[in-house]
Structure 1
């Protein structure tokens, strides 16, 4: 049983009080909502916090060592203002997956695993805490650090791993709804990496800011002992094959969600397409204006889809006439504002790829970004559609192995794709 480390409380750089730091930069930030965690603190009688790994609008995440067995875990401490329905929903998804997820599915290693959950009393409220798989920085953080760039191969391998994760979730009737680079953690295969990080933080503390006695620590990015990508944060995931209501980040939102139609796991396949574009082209495919109303934003979003994909089929428009009639007439002509842009195509928009790779990527995008959800692939596509096969890493479902796509753009290097998958 390891002994708790002693963390120095001196020798660190102090951030000026006038400088916005870490979670302070978040919209609607309130200091009292966040738990004032400190490096070296032991919570729940067993987890010693060793380094802050990141933060978001609803939580901070810490690398911690279990003092009972020496293993390292990510401790996600949620804000005390989290509505009760959100407190239970994420936990419900993790527990549901533990009970219903296929244990031998190759996508399981690409989904964050819950080890424990408990409540932590803070100075001004109660915080829900999740003990999760410890990983490195997010793919979003990695790609925007100076000197880092995702090559087309890295983007392709990242998408393959996301497809495995999504297939694992779908096999258990879980719809993720929130796929983007900031929800993809870069796995760490060597636990010794965590040991080195915590030892370094204990002896040479990182920057921090003191705000009326509350310490805000700097987040440490970890890219070492790199392993598989891990899909994290089940806060927006849904259990069950059929759903309705708003879901997905606005620029990633599928048309059936925008138009108030019932939806299913095919929204994740749309989401994978938007993610793939973002990783390859380093851009957002459908640009929205944050200052517009939801109605204006929806109209702009839909015009961009029409410009790129062509008009939706009548079968799609008839699924919720009360909404679609705001934008299309009975003949399927666009009547909304703004006008549909002209001269837009994948061929004109793709800038980062050339030759056959460019062609297969465009085919990949077109297979996923389709108006009719049932036309988006969830089983293997015929090999005539793509030369690319994912059979070497396909996911077992009964006696069949389908992970969603059979497309040339996702091909790994050679047949032994397991090694290539993790070679980010």
Structure 2
């Protein structure tokens, strides 16, 4: 077991931090410092409890080796910190899991990384456990990344030109085929769990260079609601994650990804579905309409892969908006797939159906006007954005190949969906996508 060793910040370091007191435990941000960035936030303070996050501060020494210099992100089951490796003097990413997170996460990534030659999965450089006030936390170390594809797209919707998007999509499909062929289900596949790799020179930046290029850590103190001491299981301040990407087009050569955050297979329920699957747009219908009888599977991965492919091509998700709740996503799925092929038990369990459809499966007049076809969505969500950005639109032949590939990935019944290996053999992959990726690898 290891404990995090506290280290005071160097003299003058605090002057570079922004602070603002607020009388509660809620972390918040100063948007004036990030006028064009609206996704940055900090993890929910309520998760700093038994089974939750481990409190980490800038300057901490983790595992007697990794000095924390910045924060790069967080998820439902971890926080991720940029740290200086005292043995190599390089920057690394240290992922500190919640006490209730999957302790085998590093084993899965290591196995997949070795099997694929680290092409799609980050090599695990070190792994250890930290014992803290909230429990025992599994940690592992990997090379840093510039950020998730989801964050990059949110900041700049046209950051990936069409030929670069094809290279990224090739890697998404190849990585999923690699996972499934080795018996792994990802279980939480979306662009937020796909990282853009950092160039090797990034690891050699000094702390001064890092802060000069990207800004020093920006923190928000946490103040108790009453006149009491802050509990030891809560950090004294929250740190806003640093954005390491650039708001400019990503070149084809730089379009290299890592897949992260494989989830332990779970069986969701109607009560926890909104918490377990974010963004909801990638949640497959079996988990929305029949959660108690379903679980994550190869087929649910394929559904999420199709949604992720669409999100790389278009400006708007195929099924609603990115972070809508399960109710809105159910409606969007029924509208797109049609209720006629829906399993009868799912239809019967859908409590809101009478607000949108008749019992004969016909849309109500007030709702019918909102239903869009494949062609309409492709034109409005993909082609319009390409034209507005000054990029050439997708040809009718390629458009047909894209839709022909996505349709068998997005079926009501999981058993009817194609496999990752079948996706690789589709016309669009073989004639448009994989040839672009081969330019990167040759």
TM-score by length of structure 1 reads: 0.72
Superposed CA deviations along residues 357-413 of structure 1, whole A, max 9, x for unmatched, are 433332232232122334433254499962541xxxxxxxxxxxxxxxxxx453443
Instruction: Name 1:75's counterpart in structure 2.
Output: 94
Quote how far apart the aligned CAs of 1:26 are.
5.5
Q: Residue 415 of structure 1: CA displacement?
A: 4.5
d(CA) in 2 for partners of 1:129, 1:28: 19
Contact in 2 for aligned 1:388/1:411 (Cα 8 Å): yes
TM-superposed deviation, 1:195: 2.6
Unmatched 5+ residue regions in structure 2?
1-6, 31-38, 224-234, 247-252, 354-358, 384-392
CA separation in 1, counterparts of 2:150 and 2:424?
Answer: 32
Unaligned runs of 5+ in 1: 390-407, 420-424
| TM-score, with length taken from structure 2 | 0.69
Residue of 114, 126, 150 corresponding to 1:103: 114
Among 82, 106, 112, the alignment partner of 1:94 is 106
Any runs of at least 4 consecutive aligned residues in structure 1 with deviations exceeding 6 A, and if so which?
Answer: 288-292, 335-340
Structure 1's 382 and 207: CA in aligned 2 closer, same or farther, altered over 3 A?
A: closer
SS at match of 1:62: strand
Name the count of aligned residue pairs: 372
Q: 1:116 and 1:384 mapped to 2: Cα distance? A: 37
Higher helix share: 2
C-alpha RMSD of matched pairs (Å)? 4.1
Q: Which residue of 2 aligns with 1:362?
A: 403
Q: Report the CA distance between 1:270 and its aligned residue.
A: 0.7
CA distance in 2, matches of 1:68, 1:148: 40
Q: 1:68-105: CA deviations, max 9, x gaps?
A: 344543112244xx4xxx43xx2224324545x48343
| 1:15 and 2:19 matched | yes
1:14-413 equivalent positions in 2, closer than 5 A: 14-18=18-22, 20-21=28-29, 28-30=44-46, 32-33=48-49, 34-79=53-98, 82=99, 86-87=100-101, 90-96=102-108, 98=110, 101=112, 103-105=114-116, 108-122=118-132, 124-126=133-135, 128-134=137-143, 135-145=145-155, 149-190=159-200, 192-196=201-205, 198-201=207-210, 205-212=216-223, 214-223=236-245, 226=254, 228-234=256-262, 236-238=263-265, 248-249=277-278, 250-260=280-290, 261-262=293-294, 264-287=297-320, 297=327, 301-313=329-341, 317=343, 321=345, 323-326=346-349, 333-334=360-361, 341=368, 344-350=372-378, 351=380, 352-353=382-383, 354=393, 355-356=395-396, 357-378=398-419, 380-381=421-422, 386=427, 388-389=429-430, 408=431, 410-413=433-436
Cα distance in 2 between the residues matched to 1:15 and 1:269: 44
